[in-house]
Structure 1
Amino acid sequence: MSYQALYRVWRPQRFDEIVGQSIITRTLKNALITKQTSHAYLFTGPRGTGKTSAAKIFAKAVNCHYLKDGEPCNQCETCKAINEGSLNDVIEIDAASNNGVEEIRDIRDKAKYAPTQADYKVYIIDEVHMLSTGAFNALLKTLEEPPANVIFILATTEPHKIPATIISRTQKFDFKRIKPQDILERMEYILDQKKVEYDDKALKLIAKAAEGGMRDALSILDQAMSYGDNKITYENALLVTGSVTNELLTTYMQQVVKKDTKSALITIQKILDEGKDASRFIEDLTSYCQDILLYQQDPGIVEEMELGIIDDQFKALSGQISDQAIYQMINELNAISNSLRFTAHPDVYLEVLTVKITHLDATNQPKAVSAPQSQQSAKTAVPPEVNAEIQQLTQQVAELKAEVADLKRESTPQSPTVSTPEPAKVSEAHSMDNHIELAKIYPILGKATRKQLNQFKSVWPDLMDALSVTQRAVMHVSSPVAASAGGVIVAFEYPFLYQKAQGDTDLKDALENNLDRIVGKAPQIVFVPENQWPDIRREYLASHKDKIKKTGSQSKEANDPKAEPADDDPEPSKEEPDSQPVVKKAAELFGTDILDIKDD
């Protein structure tokens, strides 16, 4: 007999042999024991997780006269005939090549006839999502009320393509990806039975590369056995899977963390010279970054996922790199992964990627300038000359504050003397980012109240939970700082996240739609960088001074104050705020606790 692939030879013949789907197999066995089987089943899940195997075992068990604890005997004539594929009453159909209306009508017509040998006629329709709309419609009535002694088992990897009318007529079982540990144990059992020598590290690598599919794991194992002349070694497994060694990935990440661009480029060239696939390298590196993030939160999770392949270098590296750097690296890896699919020069993209991720921290420095409390921790992440410049700017700001305080003491509230410094300062700030939408911000500030802000702040955690994982990653350092009935102003700690959110229309739609669901209205959402928000507030008060005075003379009742305390200015004078309409409006918008009266 000719050689058969491992996944065919070692295909499960009993429910207990199906790996990693214990809940499903227990349910099916109980249904068989209690004789509560349904007329239609739908098996869904990723490739190689046991859907078709479970369907065939169920077809044997429902027709086996010697059932024991829900398991087929595999010894009677019916079981043997089904194993050999010679029983006419168990019909396996590939819907990918038989997806027309005529084929389904033929099934519907033949289903009316009683089984010839077995107790039940079982139709196993694989890749059922490939059926046409007409074919699904032809199957509907038969699937709902099939003749006695007929069972339909539908299997698919894409259940979202199946009409809801079909799903509602079946019992649905979701097959999950198999854990690497379960795959490893199954491979060890098979190799022990075949008396084949193997390296534990090689099997762990194959179990991880299989991505939750038992069939994929056995196919890779078959290749490794052929390459190594019936001996499984770690080097052979690396060649067959195209993976990069953990040691090489760790070396590359260490060079990236140290910003050693030259050495990292040499490592990339070494990887390509060894014939490694560029896309596979990106996948491995993304997985490595994921492991670092998870290890920082819970080392036990990574130990289980990686089957214990965690060395001292990995542990040290996880303590040297920040989660923000990992987020940025994953974004760059995702962008490169998409580009690699359409290029014939992957080496260029990998080299560009290396240069980018060895210079990532430069995009994260504005936070150190805008948040004095984080300057001390940021000093270790920036060059000395940048720290010196930050200290110089901080000193200049302190001197300017002192001058403003002197001018304020010399002047009276009724006769302001200085009119231009703040707008000029704001203009310079705005020149750094010309995407700030002042035309949308000012109308919101004109009708803003603290009551509205407090409402949106109270529902902000619920709003974040309603977003997708990717959207939460962008919004996790944002918060509302001003709000009216028709709009919300949201400030971002990091300018690069502000820029990313500003260009993401799907994110804004998601925020507005979820706010509509949570608070019953969909306000306009406007984004601003946190480090420019104080300047935007001051510019608004300066540019709308006349309007505010007019409004103040007409009404003595102030709106609820609201704003985010973000200024480091001295404690304001709160004596008789009604005497100055501008001061009064500032108190309404931003609260008296952060109010700082300056000559304007």
Structure 2
Amino acid sequence: MSYVALYRAWRPQRFSDVVGQEHVVTTLIHALEMNRLAHAYLFAGPRGTGKTSLAKILAKAVNCEQPEGIEPCNVCPACTGINAGAVMDVVEMDAASNRGIDEIRGLLEQVRYVPTEVKKKVYIIDEVHMLTPEAFNALLKTLEEPPNYCLFVLATTELHKVPATIASRCQRFSFGRVKVERVVQRLQEVAATLSVAVEESALWLIARLTEGGLRDALSLLDQVVAFSSDHIGVEQVAEVTGGVSSEKIGELCSLVFAHDHGGLLSLLSAFWERGVDPSQLIVETLSYLRDAIVQKCGGVEIDKSDRVQYDPTFAVVISHVQPSILLQIAERMGHLQAEMRFQSQARLYIEVSLLALIDQMDPVVDQKPVLEPSKQGVPSEDLLIMRQELQQLVQRIELLERKQWVENRQIAEQRTQEATEEAPERQIRNPVQETPLVRQSTSVSPMQSKGRHAWQGKQMNAQDQELLTTLEQRWVPLLEEMKRTSIQTRAWLYAGRPVGVFGHHLVIAFKSSLHAETVIKSPHRELIEEVLQQRLQRPVVIATILEEEWERVKNHMINGDSDQNVGKVSEPWVGKVIELLGEDRVRVIDE
């Protein structure tokens, strides 16, 4: 006796055997019970979801000689003949290979004759969207008003290619992909009859790879059984499909998270030696990242990931990773997938791209290059509570600082107004609009505002001079790094150059006052300081200055000359104003 493939041996024979299409089965059963069966049906859905199988069950149900309620008995001559394809009145035609008008005309010639073997003629046309326009036109009239002894069942995987004139003459049913859990249940039933030990994790992986196609799942299980006749696990499934196991993809991601260049290259080299296709590696990595993003963003309830069923390391790998990092990697992998067709050396391109990605992204805290599930775990509840309390404390401190700064500013403005009223013979003419020595934002905190004046009057020591030289040499790479953070900020900063370092203070000189004033404003100032702090590993406060003003300040530092305007000030109230507002923002004019 010849071997029968699993998907054929386990093909549904009754309505109760159909998996995952309850809405279609229920409607057809009720139609049969109430004798309200339509003359034409259109089954549309992905491959392997039961369209043709349900059409044959319906053909048996309307012709069964000894039905068990609504279910066909599968033992009478009509049922056995339909199962064997030996009944001439039940015609199953593949429109992909019989798509012309001549084939349809031959079919319509048979419609005129009454059935001879069974009660009702049934015509099942699979992949009906492949018919030519002429064939569709020939089918129209008969499909609209067929003889009462005829039933048409059309099946298609591409509903949008079926003309509206055909679809409107049929009752349409949409077949959905079978849920992974249902596919696994069916595979477990099949595996129980086999003489091979099959791990449940392997069944979950098969169901995941076939994307809700039960026929494809049974075919893949059949193939894996032929490959490994004694034991089937996740490794055997991955080897048969030519892909990479989920645990290996997790190891790849953990190496990227940990910035482990050497480990990443070694793992990729192992993939290439095994013959892993680069395009398939990108697809599986994207699938892994997609599941991770769903988990991290709280989509577990609406999209329950089944990866944990066959990959115990999945939850451990993503436990310390922020969604922003996952999105960054997924976006880059998506670009890689689109660019692969233009690359002649795909393996080298993937290696270089992943290494470049590592250098661009922030390292993941507490992430080890190679994860061991037995030693790693998710953060404890106490640690999470401590993190939340620390974040709340930081927010309260920032709020108090902003409040104190507003109060100090109001006091300074009030004192300035009182001082001006007491000395009417001298005027301070809009000091903010005068050309200042240092351009700075008026929306900074008290600590920042104080820090931006602190560098004036100081001399650069040897350490400051060394850091300035380093910044001058690395200014172009810093601009490129800023470009990845904010293109607009980098455009404004491009016109400047570092001219002075005074402790934590960096002075940047510009030729244009517009550039100097814009760079020091929010959010450009914060972005620049953040990038500099990450690169230099030290606090940085920036200040901007015009080139011509910097030359004057530099000469002042060298010669020790005092500022002419400030040197003339002898009145106490003027000194008080300068102390409150800063000497770089005040110009005294004698009249």
Q: TM-score range by the shorter chain?
A: 0.5 to 0.7
2:193 counterpart SS class: helix
Deviation, structure 1 residue 48 = 0.9
Q: Distance in 2 between matches of 1:266 and 1:118?
A: 67
| Correspondence for 1:8 | 8
2:319 counterpart SS class: helix
- Residue by residue over 1:300-344, the C-alpha shift from the partner in whole angstroms, topping out at 9 and shown as x without a partner, is 667652363353x43343232222222222222222223334655
Q: Distance in 2 between matches of 1:425 and 1:349?
A: 45
The residue identity in structure 2 corresponding to 1:309 is Y
| Correspondence for 1:47 | 47
Deviation, structure 1 residue 125 = 0.8
Q: Distance in 1 between matches of 2:227 and 2:271?
A: 21
Deviation, structure 1 residue 118 = 1.4
| Correspondence for 1:592 | none
More off after superposition, 343-352 vs 4-13: 343-352
8 Å CA contact 2:201, 2:309 repeated in 1: no
2:192 counterpart SS class: helix
| Correspondence for 1:79 | 79
- Residue by residue over 1:96-126, the C-alpha shift from the partner in whole angstroms, topping out at 9 and shown as x without a partner, is 1221222223323322222221111111111
Superposed CA RMSD: 3.9
The answer to whether 1:289 aligns with 2:289 is yes
Deviation, structure 1 residue 45 = 1.0
The change in CA–CA distance for 1:253 and 1:362 in structure 2 (over 3 A counts) is: closer
The change in CA–CA distance for 1:215 and 1:246 in structure 2 (over 3 A counts) is: same
8 Å CA contact 1:328, 1:360 repeated in 2: no
Q: Distance in 1 between matches of 2:117 and 2:161?
A: 35
The change in CA–CA distance for 1:264 and 1:149 in structure 2 (over 3 A counts) is: same
8 Å CA contact 2:204, 2:309 repeated in 1: no
Aligned 1:439-450 pairs, distance under 5 A: none
Deviation, structure 1 residue 353 = 3.3
2:78 counterpart SS class: helix
Q: Distance in 2 between matches of 1:63 and 1:36?
A: 15
| Correspondence for 1:136 | 136
Deviation, structure 1 residue 60 = 0.9
| Correspondence for 1:27 | 27
Aligned 1:392-471 pairs, distance under 5 A: 418=433
The change in CA–CA distance for 1:50 and 1:307 in structure 2 (over 3 A counts) is: farther
The change in CA–CA distance for 1:60 and 1:499 in structure 2 (over 3 A counts) is: farther
Structure 2-normalised TM-score? 0.61
Give identity over the alignment, percent: 39
2:251 counterpart SS class: helix
Aligned 1:495-534 pairs, distance under 5 A: none
Deviation, structure 1 residue 350 = 2.1
The answer to whether 1:308 aligns with 2:309 is yes
| Correspondence for 1:352 | 352
The residue identity in structure 1 corresponding to 2:337 is S
The change in CA–CA distance for 1:286 and 1:167 in structure 2 (over 3 A counts) is: same
More off after superposition, 409-418 vs 131-140: 409-418
Q: Distance in 1 between matches of 2:145 and 2:434?
A: 84
| Correspondence for 1:232 | 232
8 Å CA contact 2:293, 2:327 repeated in 1: no
Runs of 4+ that moved beyond 4 A: 298-304, 341-344, 408-422, 494-500, 531-536
The residue identity in structure 2 corresponding to 1:244 is V
Deviation, structure 1 residue 533 = 13
Q: Distance in 1 between matches of 2:485 and 2:157?
A: 36
8 Å CA contact 2:247, 2:314 repeated in 1: no
Aligned 1:83-482 pairs, distance under 5 A: 83-229=83-229, 231-296=231-296, 297-299=298-300, 305-306=306-307, 308-309=309-310, 311=312, 313-341=313-341, 343=343, 345-361=345-361, 418=433
The residue identity in structure 2 corresponding to 1:139 is L
1:155 counterpart SS class: strand
Q: Distance in 1 between matches of 2:137 and 2:202?
A: 48
Deviation, structure 1 residue 348 = 1.8
2:148 counterpart SS class: coil
1:291 counterpart SS class: helix
Q: Distance in 1 between matches of 2:230 and 2:483?
A: 57
Deviation, structure 1 residue 224 = 0.9
Give the structure with higher Rg (CA): 2
Deviation, structure 1 residue 95 = 1.0
**Gap regions ≥5 residues in structure 1:** 364-376, 378-397, 427-493, 501-530, 537-597
8 Å CA contact 1:181, 1:307 repeated in 2: no
- Residue by residue over 1:160-182, the C-alpha shift from the partner in whole angstroms, topping out at 9 and shown as x without a partner, is 11122221111111111112221
1:116 counterpart SS class: coil
Deviation, structure 1 residue 61 = 0.9
8 Å CA contact 1:265, 1:354 repeated in 2: no
- Residue by residue over 1:59-103, the C-alpha shift from the partner in whole angstroms, topping out at 9 and shown as x without a partner, is 111111322232111011010110000111111111112212222
The change in CA–CA distance for 1:362 and 1:237 in structure 2 (over 3 A counts) is: closer
